[in-house]
Amino acid sequence: GAVVSQHPSWVICKSGTSVKIECRSLDFQATTMFWYRQFPKQSLMLMATSNEGSKATYEQGVEKDKFLINHASLTLSTLTVTSAHPEDSSFYICSARDPGLSNQPQHFGDGTRLSIL
Amino acid sequence: AQSVAQPEDQVNVAEGNPLTVKCTYSVSGNPYLFWYVQYPNRGLQFLLKYITGDNLVKGSYGFEAEFNKSQTSFHLKKPSALVSDSALYFCAVRDDRTPDTGRRALTFGSGTRLQVQP
């Protein structure tokens, strides 16, 4: 079945560092990928929709310059947290769905735990 | 706009007993409904979905869910709970108004923590 791979799993870095997270669809081409953020004991909040070959669509309240999204190919989307600060610490999860198969569920990466010191 | 409500933050059940995790939804069109499970520090794993057809949907690991249009509910059930079922469960919805191009994100409920006691 469809698989989404996310890397890295854990990141611990100093404040002010920029961090890149990769999301790959392993056996299908994803024209659209989704980036979510999850705070402890809370639900997933959609941050942005990543569109291959065009600009990402950000949800209200999400800073575009803070969370840079690049969907350079049909199997890869990246989320870069620029100049990260402790308040950016969170669990980030990507997902995608095979557009070639109708009514299929979204498949999720295993998430990236980001800790900013 | 679409929304999902999971009224219970936590459900406790003894191993071997039946379990129910509640979910109600609101969409403008017809709902596509999903249940996912999340283990600590992991992404979400798909359990089951309702798109159309039979109201009772069977999924992975012995879970099932019943779609009730009049009550706008999609409760998750399992006849006999296992300790290994302890995890965080999310209900999610997407409406059918747009073409199924893979471009619509899901709206998630707040999650329900299931604790199965030995």
User: Best residue in A43, A74, A89 to probe B by mutation, most B CBs within 10 Å?
Assistant: A43
**What pLDDT digit, counting tens, does each position of B31-50 carry?**
999 999 999 888 899 999 99
**What pLDDT digit, counting tens, does each position of A11-43 carry?**
999 999 999 999 999 988 888 999 999 988 788
List the single residue in B36, B105, B110 with the smallest CB-CB distance to A49: B105
Q: Which residue has the tokens 């291959």?
A: A52
Q: What's the one-letter identity of residue A7?
A: H
Question: How close is the nearest chain B Cα to the Cα of A103, in Å?
Answer: 7
Least confident of A98-112, B35-49, B97-111: B97-111
Residue B33 · residue B50 · CB < 8 Å: yes
**What pLDDT digit, counting tens, does each position of A44-102 carry?**
899 999 988 888 999 999 999 999 999 989 999 999 999 999 999 999 999 998 777 76
List the single residue in B49, B105, B111 with the smallest CB-CB distance to A34: B105
**What pLDDT digit, counting tens, does each position of B3-36 carry?**
999 999 999 999 999 999 999 999 888 899 999 9
Question: How close is the nearest chain B Cα to the Cα of A15, in Å?
Answer: 22
- With a cut of 70, say whether residue B101 has pLDDT above it: no
Residues 6 or more apart in contact with residue B110 via CB below 8 angstroms: A42, A43, B5, B6, B9
What is the count of residue pairs from A and B with beta carbons less than 8 Å apart? 64
